[in-house]
Amino acid sequence: MKTVHINRKINFENTLFFYLCNMHISAKELGLFLNGIVEGDASVEVTGPSKIEEGLEGTISFLAHPKYEQYAYTTKSSILLVSKDFKPEKPLNPTLIRVDNVYDSVAQLLDKFGGEIPQFAGVAEDIFIHEEASIGKNVSIGSFSVIEKGAIIGAGSKIYPQVYIGGNVILGENVKLYPGVKIFYNCKIGNNCTLHANVVIGSDGFGFAPLSDGSYNKIPQLGNVILEDNVEIGANTVVDRATMGSTIIHKGAKLDNLIQIAHNVEIGESTVIAAQAGIAGSSKIGKNALIGGQAGIVGHVELADGTRIQAQSGVNKSIKKASTALYGSPALDYNNYLRSYAVFRRLPELQQKINALEKRLAELTDNTEK
């Protein structure tokens, strides 16, 4: 039986929509909020953020990466957020706020002052909810969304327009599904997960059996996908269902846009994967791994906890040692790759030297024979 606990009316509202640029805040107030140390004029006020290289008077910028330090001495920003161990080489014009972790402090500021995009509340009229689906309290459902038989939607979840939720899908509490998300039958989504636009969960795994005539017979994909709590997946990423059992993304994992996760893959908790990476079937990624953009991982391998893979690297074997850093294709130990790169980038030059040495050796041989 369909259960809806909220008025069936879309009500767009700008909840918490007070940007930093709409208010004045002083360096002293920011320092207290971030538990930071203020150096300079604590009374200076800002009305918004700006990039350090484009800093304007009345704005706050941040310095988190050494390659941008040059702009710290030229920026016109009124306040500059830096780490507590930052040691300027030249005089600085902005008031400094020193914090333990610059990125974390920026995230706090954006969370507090950035607000959220305009949200909707309620359930639209132009949707389909099967009578045997269950909808929790305070759930919002946007236009043209479909919720099939046996689906369970947890309290406080937000389902944006044009979302498809298949039969027997279980959605946890406070889940956000942005427009165009598709979750196919029997998949399970944990609490506080966020799936951005056009994410596909539970599409068929890529399984085909070769036949004697050279054609392929499709192998039924009967498993599902499980996302544990606090997983976030970027736009247009696809997570295939398992052939049997489950494709699993453990709690706290973060996936960027345009990623392919194949059938029966398991991704450890708090692992982060950048855009355009691909993980082939039945591979297991440990927790707290960092996988760079466009990296590729072959099937049926295991990567230890804390494995770090540079962008565009290709991993073709299991990694058993925790916190191993890899680079290249096929991937090598990071430091070995750098040493190798120092050699093979000079191969044309080395070839010329070898040719010259061979020529000289031939001349000496001829002279000796004479």
**H or E element that contains 360:** helix 347-369
Query: What six digits make up the tokens of 186?
Result: 């029997």
24 is catalytic: no
* Residues 309, 311: Cα–Cα separation, whole Å: 7
Tell me the sheet residues that pair with 189: 171, 227
* Residues 244, 224: Cα–Cα separation, whole Å: 8
Tell me the sheet residues that pair with 194: 176, 232
Report the interhelical angle of 347-369 vs 334-344 (nearest 10°).
50
Buried b (16+ CB within 10 A) or exposed e, 195-231: bbbbbbbbbebbbeeeeeeeeeeeeebebbbbbbbbb
Catalytic residue among 5, 24, 65, 263: 263
* Residues 19, 243: Cα–Cα separation, whole Å: 47
Report the interhelical angle of 27-34 vs 102-113 (nearest 10°).
110
* Residues 20, 79: Cα–Cα separation, whole Å: 14
**H or E element that contains 339:** helix 334-344
Active-site amino acid positions: 263
